[in-house]
Amino acid sequence: MDVLASSWLVLVLILNPTKSILAQTVADVQLAVLQYRGGGDWYSNPTAVPNLVRYCNEEMAMHLSQEVPYVDVGSPDLFNYPWIHMTGHGNVVFSSREADQLRAYLQSGGFLHISDNYGMDPYVRTAMAKVFPNQDWVEVPFDHPVYHQQYEFADGLPKIHEHDDLPARGYGLFVNGRLVCFYDQECDLGDGWEDYQVHRDPEDVREAALRMGANLIRYAMGGADGL
Domain extents in the chain: 3-220
| pLDDT value of position 199 | 62
* Residues sharing a CB contact under 8 Å with residue 42, sequence separation 6 or more, in sequence order: 33, 34, 35, 36, 70, 86, 87, 88
In sequence order, what DSSP letters do the residues of 17-63 get, joined into one string?
A: TTS-GGG--TT----EEEE-BSS--TT--TTHHHHHHHHHHHHH---
Question: pLDDT 10s per residue in the chain (227 long)?
Answer: 444 444 444 444 434 444 433 333 444 799 999 999 987 788 888 999 999 999 999 999 999 999 999 999 999 999 999 999 999 988 999 999 999 999 999 999 999 999 988 889 999 999 999 999 999 999 999 999 999 999 999 999 998 877 677 899 999 999 999 999 999 998 889 889 997 776 677 889 999 999 999 999 999 998 766 55
The CATH code belonging to domain 3-220 is 3.40.50.12140
- Ordered strands of the 83-88 beta sheet: 70-72, 32-35, 83-88, 111-116, 178-185, 169-175, 138-139
pTM summary value: 0.86
Q: Of 5, 10, 145, nearest to 61 (Cα)?
A: 5
| pLDDT value of position 5 | 44
Report strand pairing: 169-175 vs 178-185: antiparallel
Q: Yes or no: say if 118 and 188 are a contact pair by the CB < 8 Å rule.
A: yes
Q: Yes or no: say if 26 and 63 are a contact pair by the CB < 8 Å rule.
A: yes
